[in-house]
Amino acid sequence: MSKTAPGRFFEDFRIGQTLRHATPRTLNAGDASLYSALYGARFAVQSADPFAQKLGYVRAPIDDLLAFHVVFGKSVPDVSLNAVANLGYAEGRFLKPVYPGDTLSAVSKVIGLKENSNRQTGVVYVRTQGADQHGEAALEYVRWAMVRKRDPAAPAPETLVPETAERVAPEALGAACPVLDVAAYDFELAGSAHRFGDYVAGEQIDHVDGVTVEESDHMLATRLYQNTAKVHFNQFSEGQGRFGRRLIYGGHVISLARALSFNGLANAFHVAAINGGRHVAPLFAGDTVFAWSEILETAELPGRSDVGALRVRMVATKNRPCADFPYREGTGYDPSVVLDIDLWLLIPR
Amino acid sequence: MSKTAPGRFFEDFRIGQTLRHATPRTLNAGDASLYSALYGARFAVQSADPFAQKLGYVRAPIDDLLAFHVVFGKSVPDVSLNAVANLGYAEGRFLKPVYPGDTLSAVSKVIGLKENSNRQTGVVYVRTQGADQHGEAALEYVRWAMVRKRDPAAPAPETLVPETAERVAPEALGAACPVLDVAAYDFELAGSAHRFGDYVAGEQIDHVDGVTVEESDHMLATRLYQNTAKVHFNQFSEGQGRFGRRLIYGGHVISLARALSFNGLANAFHVAAINGGRHVAPLFAGDTVFAWSEILETAELPGRSDVGALRVRMVATKNRPCADFPYREGTGYDPSVVLDIDLWLLIPR
Amino acid sequence: MSKTAPGRFFEDFRIGQTLRHATPRTLNAGDASLYSALYGARFAVQSADPFAQKLGYVRAPIDDLLAFHVVFGKSVPDVSLNAVANLGYAEGRFLKPVYPGDTLSAVSKVIGLKENSNRQTGVVYVRTQGADQHGEAALEYVRWAMVRKRDPAAPAPETLVPETAERVAPEALGAACPVLDVAAYDFELAGSAHRFGDYVAGEQIDHVDGVTVEESDHMLATRLYQNTAKVHFNQFSEGQGRFGRRLIYGGHVISLARALSFNGLANAFHVAAINGGRHVAPLFAGDTVFAWSEILETAELPGRSDVGALRVRMVATKNRPCADFPYREGTGYDPSVVLDIDLWLLIPR
């Protein structure tokens, strides 16, 4: 029996299968510092203990997306080592603040399978949950990826395409955000005067700035998340592959866009949900990422007067500023678009 | 009203204006580790808790320049987002040791304004103070930058060029350095036998080594400092700009030179003051930085027999070793010089 | 007297000389995070506090090789600043777990000297010990390097070539690994079902994955270790040297290979000894590293039923996958091989 893990192929998955992923990971202040160096985020809640504590946090929490990437990374060896593409996300919810010192583990359940007509690949749908050292859920999300078959002739598992919600309901938001003392929220220190009531559905915000990605950056990030997907690291093999280059982990793009979005959404300090998301096109080292957002919806949270929720479509492009909000073109996307993600963000009222 | 911050233009500043900067930042051991990886400094006080504790520190303090960069970074969105150049520093003083766990915030006061004759730009002088979570000053400095006008025809604010001291007075040094038990200072473990009395004014020291900068390094550093100046990150726009390349944050050069200066100034463990400084020429990825120092002055600190102060002119060059101490050439600088900075360093007596 | 350290030349060493190295270093959680980002290791014991604590560790220990690199780095200014090549290692033992917060210092003793026949260089053998803040030995090893003479005509010191053991004896292993509660070792969470009894001498394991190295990565790593060897950092001078490029610190290759070896040796969580090792060929940025291992020997540890030891030859190559285990070719090495190292690894029984 080989001691090396080949990863699962499409025909190895079964509906209802539970995959308990390897390598629990204690996140600490060093991870937060590295995350800061990788993206330069400036949201005050995650940046400063006293700012967070005055509001009601135990201390500055770990960035939501850092926790997400760590959980995602764990699922790669079991779910997507043989993936051709990471197709989408839904029903992502952040359920508990993650603090330095907390340890995350992850489990995925196979909730859908559908072979593609070419019989070379199939789509695998999993619901992944990240839990802390107490076994309490810290976040969960559905994702689906296109996974190769080992043997195209192998019989496909039964087909089941799960229904996922179009968006997380507002009443399901906020579990990872303690009830805040918003009177203690210092808007000047946070970098913007704009609060919940200042945003309206339909509003579009160009985040203005751009950031160029280097090979070293994205590999440092992806290793920090213990994400082992081969396409991100191995120029020897990728140089002979379909792009001739290492592919940047899609989550790196999400975090880059999120950090850029500070310029316009400085007080939207917490990602409460990932309603949906799609990596529209690959990003490579040397590309410059820009981003813009559209407020899709605003929602109050039942029983909470401290924070409200902005549903935001965040779009990232490569090598194209976003002053004119590039998005769809004909039946597809503008060729510059690399990411189209739909988030619920919490912001003080 | 746009939700994105355009930054102030020259005509937006007023003498006496107080700018309270965004995003407080808790510095922790992870930031110290990253700083170590970015520059490789080897000063024992900042490297090892027991070494620092034996002398009288609570534990190993955060590197002075890391604290400086973090404070500087906060001022960028309010002061120099529309700057053409960062012209100089004066009256920089380190006032309190910064330890892992401390949180820095920053406030700047506009102390000078002078429109340039072309009316396109003006020089803005600010005094910036970084305070800790107790509201106590940790460091302060004056800097001036050339900032664009939004509208060249706009009336200029009144002209005031502040006078700054040629150098911080020795009696104003040492606030950030507890009185040390120098008998406990292990010179062998610190890497050099040379102490205060071994240095004389006029002495020149070639720091010998050189270090090549990569795009990824300087962007990681500058993001760690939450410094958002566009010129450091965006190759898409800088590729079309005056240099065709991303410009490296000047503070990165200061830290590189400071780390190189260990070879010759190993016991000069603390930057007590920045008397003045100038970024003479831009640095770009691929360049190799060298440095040399001249002892300008030595000074005892009133009432202290533990440490003395060396006033040091530290010069950094690019792509030119410093065995012959390159500096001025005719009325200007040797073309290799990128940094000319004047510091007070504390060293055991 | 020059204030800069020129480093020792071959004729400066004496048998029995003790070199107490500079710059103690407190390792903290930030260093562990950076190590994770640099290599992406996934061994559960070093990754998660609760996993380690359930087994009997105080918390997740610092990666063995991170401690090794930090100790090695300290010895560079005193031993190998003027080295042409780092020739080999022997008798490396890890003696005590290193935890975040511990401070390492290092001392080397000169145990062998042999001038080369060309009289330009000589081989220096040192035994280096890294001790913690209590003065207790954390690790030790013998290494030898070829060091330039300042003056080829200088008389050589007496010749002594020390005898080193072919391998550390099994009864000398395990000091850095507390007696573990193996019933609490969660093999699924650790990523593999394979334990001590599943490996047999002669077994070869291809670690499959490859990772491409960038200039920024290896310089960040080597600076983190405060290793100042010039050849790793200075493109200006190396561009004119024998390779025309910066040389990657050999220890970086060891850590890359170790991280890759998770795929096949996931439960071999602890490097207990370095029996021998050789940097067969230089590695440069842009190269992709692959690795494979051969089990040379398996050994029980006297008096311990919790863990056993695998003696592993780990081979790293550049730009060549290892499915066919490239190693020797004729009287030398396969041209792809960059590292040939012989380790004792501990693994649950």
pLDDT in tens, A135-176: 999 999 999 999 999 999 999 889 999 999 999 999 999 999
pLDDT in tens, B233-248: 999 999 999 999 999 9
Angstrom distance (rounded) from CA C165 to CA C140 = 14
User: How many other CB atoms sit within 10 Å of the CB of residue B244?
Assistant: 10
The answer to whether B120 faces chain A, any CB pair under 8 Å, is no
Residues 233-292, chain A, touching C (beta carbon < 8 A): 233-237, 246
The answer to whether A230 faces chain C, any CB pair under 8 Å, is yes
Q: What residue in B sits closest to A30 (Cα-Cα)? A: B30
Calculate mean pLDDT across residues B5-33: 96
pLDDT of residue C243: 95
Averaged in consecutive runs of 10 residues, what is the pLDDT profile of chain A (349 residues)?
87 97 97 98 98 98 98 96 91 98 98 96 98 98 96 93 98 98 98 98 97 98 95 95 95 98 98 97 98 98 97 98 96 97 98
Give the predicted TM-score (pTM) of the model: 0.97
Nearest to C210 among A22, A25, A236 (CB): A236
Q: What residue in A sits closest to B7 (Cα-Cα)? A: A263
The answer to whether A216 faces chain B, any CB pair under 8 Å, is yes
Write the CA distances from B294 to A292, B256, B342, integer angstroms. Answer: 50, 17, 9
Calculate mean pLDDT across residues B150-155: 95
User: Binning pLDDT at 50, 70 and 90, where does residue B303 land?
Assistant: very high
pLDDT of residue A230: 87
pLDDT of residue B198: 98
User: C298: Cβ–Cβ under 8 A, 6 or more apart, which residues?
Assistant: C196, C199, C200, C201, C308, C309, C310, C311
The answer to whether B34 faces chain C, any CB pair under 8 Å, is yes
Residue C205 has pLDDT above 70, yes or no: yes
Amino acid code (one letter) for B269: F
Write the CA distances from A177 to A16, A134, A273, integer angstroms. Answer: 31, 18, 12
B222 burial level (CB within 10 Å; 0-12, 13-18, 19+)? buried
In the structure encoding, which two tokens stand for residue A122, read together? 């199939």
Q: Tell me the percentage of chain C whose pLDDT exceeds 90.
A: 95
User: B46: Cβ–Cβ under 8 A, 6 or more apart, which residues?
Assistant: B32, B52, B60, B61, B62, B63, B269
Residues 173-192, chain B, touching C (beta carbon < 8 A): 188-192
Mean pLDDT, chain B, as a whole number? Answer: 97
Residues 49-88, chain C, touching A (beta carbon < 8 A): 49-51, 60
Mean pLDDT, chain C, as a whole number? Answer: 97
Calculate mean pLDDT across residues B331-337: 96
Nearest to A26 among C60, C199, C208 (CB): C60
Neighbouring chains to A with at least 3 Cβ pairs closer than 8 Å:
B, C
pLDDT of residue A91: 98
Secondary structure string (H, E, C) spanning chain A: CCCCCCCCCHHHCCCCCEEECCCCEECCHHHHHHHHHHHCCCCHHHHCHHHHHHHCCCCCCCCHHHHHHHHHHHHHHHHHCCEEEEEEEEEEEECCCCCCCCEEEEEEEEEEEEECCCCCEEEEEEEEEEECCCCCEEEEEEEEEEEECCCCCCCCCCCECCCCCCCCCHHHCCCCCCCCCHHHCCHHHHCCCCCHHHCCCCCEEECCCCEECCHHHHHHHHHHCCCCCHHHCCHHHHCCCCCCCCCCCHHHHHHHHHHHCHHHHCCCCEEEEEEEEEECCCCCCCCEEEEEEEEEEEEEECCEEEEEEEEEEEEEEECCCCCCCCCEECCEECCCEEEEEEEEEEEEC
pLDDT of residue C230: 87
Contact A33 C33 (CB under 8 A): yes
Count how many pairs of residues, chain A against chain B, have C-beta atoms within 8 Å: 136
Nearest to C24 among B189, B220, B319 (CB): B189
Residue B229 has pLDDT above 80, yes or no: yes
User: A237: Cβ–Cβ under 8 A, 6 or more apart, which residues?
Assistant: A230, C210, C288, C321
In the structure encoding, which two tokens stand for residue A90, read together? 């839904």
Please report where in the chains the tokens 């504390």 appear, as a residue.
B346
Calculate mean pLDDT across residues C101-119: 97
pLDDT of residue B42: 97
Q: Are B36 and C224 in contact (CB under 8 A)?
A: yes
Contact C44 A22 (CB under 8 A): yes
User: Binning pLDDT at 50, 70 and 90, where does residue B1 land?
Assistant: low
Angstrom distance (rounded) from CA C123 to CA C186 = 46
